[in-house]
Structure 1
Amino acid sequence: MSNEPEVGFIGLGDQGAPMAAAIAERFRLHAWARRDTSYAALGDVPFTRHTTAVELAAAVSILCVCLRTDADLTELLSNGVLDALPADAIVINHATGDPGEANGFRELCAAKGISFVDAPVSGGRPGALARTLTCFVGTVPDILEKCRAVISTHSKHVVHMGAAGTGQAAKLCNNALTVSNLRNIVEVFSIADAFGIEPASLQKAFAHSSGGSFILDALGTKVTPEIASHIATLNRADVEEFAAAAKRRGRDVSELEAWAMGGAAGLVTAVNRLIKGQTYP
Structure 2
Amino acid sequence: MSIESKGKVAFIGLGVMGYPMAGYLQQKGYQVCVYNRTLSKAEAWAKQHTGRYAATPAEAAAGADLVFICVGNDDDVRSVAYGVDGVLATMQPDSVLIDHTTASAELARELSTACLAQGVGFLDAPVSGGQAGAENGVLTVMLGGEPAAFAKAETAIMSYARCAKLLGPAGSGQLAKMVNQICIAGVVQGLAEALNFAQHAGLDGAAVVEVISQGAAQSWQMQNRYKTMLDGKYDFGFAVDWMRKDLGIALNEARKNGSHLPLTALVDQFYSEVQQLGGGRWDTSSLLARLKK
Task: Give the TM-score normalised by structure 1.
Answer: 0.88
Contact 1:182-1:260 within 8 A present in 2 as well: no
Q: Which residue of 1 aligns with 2:24?
A: 22
Change (3 A) 1:226 1:180: closer
Change (3 A) 1:43 1:231: farther
Task: Tell me how far apart the structure 2 counterparts of residues 154 and 229 of structure 1 sit (CA, whole Å).
Answer: 18
Q: Which residue of 2 aligns with 1:235?
A: 243
TM alignment of 1:65-214, pairs within 5 A: 65-80=69-84, 81-214=87-220
1:58 aligns with 2:38: no
Change (3 A) 1:220 1:22: farther
Q: Which blocks of at least 5 consecutive residues in structure 2 are unaligned?
A: 275-283
Contact 2:97-2:122 within 8 A present in 1 as well: yes
Change (3 A) 1:95 1:33: same
SS at match of 2:55: coil
CA apart distance, 1:212: 0.8
Q: Which blocks of at least 5 consecutive residues in structure 1 are unaligned?
A: 273-278
Contact 2:247-2:264 within 8 A present in 1 as well: no
CA apart distance, 1:93: 0.2
Task: Tell me how far apart the structure 2 counterparts of residues 50 and 228 of structure 1 sit (CA, whole Å).
Answer: 30
Task: Tell me how far apart the structure 1 counterparts of residues 117 and 209 of structure 2 sit (CA, whole Å).
Answer: 51
Q: Which residue of 1 aligns with 2:265?
A: 257
Please give the root-mean-square deviation of Cα atoms over the aligned residues, in Å: 2.6
CA apart distance, 1:44: 2.1
CA apart distance, 1:164: 0.9
The letter for the 2-side match of 1:227 is D
Change (3 A) 1:228 1:51: closer
Q: Which residue of 2 aligns with 1:37?
A: 40
Aligned with residue 246 of structure 1, among 240, 249, 254 = 254
Q: How many residues align?
A: 274
Change (3 A) 1:222 1:87: farther
CA apart distance, 1:220: 5.2
Change (3 A) 1:132 1:271: farther
Task: Tell me how far apart the structure 1 counterparts of residues 214 and 80 of structure 2 sit (CA, whole Å).
Answer: 46
CA apart distance, 1:193: 3.0
Structure 1 residues 154-163 or 2-11, which shifts more?
A: 2-11
Task: Give the TM-score normalised by structure 2.
Answer: 0.84
Task: Tell me how far apart the structure 2 counterparts of residues 138 and 198 of structure 1 sit (CA, whole Å).
Answer: 45
1:8 aligns with 2:10: yes
Q: Which residue of 1 aligns with 2:286?
A: 268
Contact 1:20-1:42 within 8 A present in 2 as well: no
Change (3 A) 1:189 1:263: farther
CA apart distance, 1:157: 0.8
SS at match of 2:41: helix
The superposition leaves residues 152-207 of structure 1 with CA deviations (integer Å, 9 ceiling, x where unpaired) of 01111112211111100000110111011111111222332344322222322233
Contact 2:131-2:237 within 8 A present in 1 as well: no
SS at match of 1:156: strand
CA apart distance, 1:245: 1.9
Task: Tell me how far apart the structure 2 counterparts of residues 256 and 53 of structure 1 sit (CA, whole Å).
Answer: 36
Contact 1:18-1:42 within 8 A present in 2 as well: no
Change (3 A) 1:102 1:255: same
Contact 2:66-2:98 within 8 A present in 1 as well: yes
